[in-house]
Amino acid sequence: LVAASLAASPAYAQMVGYLAADAIHWALDQGASGSAEAVGGRVSLGTHLNSRFGGEIRAAGLGSDSLDGESVSLDSAVGVYAKAVHPVTRHIRAYALAGAAQVEMSQGGRTHKESGFSWGVGLELDADTGGRWAFRLDHMRYLDTPEATLEATGLGVVYRF
């Protein structure tokens, strides 16, 4: 682990901001009431305080399915997160996110809003040797209440500036 920490890309540490776009597969589980899932999209804007810690804002949406004969759609899932990064190798990083999110979903013509604690884990793989472009794969839990959970798995691209 110490060797991996020392191998963190110097270029990565010097770039402070990043923008990302992901395709996501989201799943809403309402327990006995049923579940819905669909494909949507997400954009993120973040900054690195150093090579280990940062912050990120994420906005997701799109996609619809049916639940109990009614249309269910993800109108938005917006979150603010603290990000901890662990360099696995020089060009691969694992990360964890913790923060708060507000989720807005429509079901059968009614809109539901919930907010609360949100978290996620993921991996980034540099797409170029300079570390400016990367691919990422992650899993987020946007909502966790007694009535429902909303999770999303995303695959996307990151541009660092």
pTM of the model: 0.87
pLDDT at 131: 84
pLDDT at 14: 65
CA separation for the pair 46, 56 (Å, rounded): 4
pLDDT at 95: 98
pLDDT digits (tens, 9 = 90+) for 71-129: 999 999 999 999 999 999 999 999 999 999 999 999 988 999 999 999 999 999 999 98
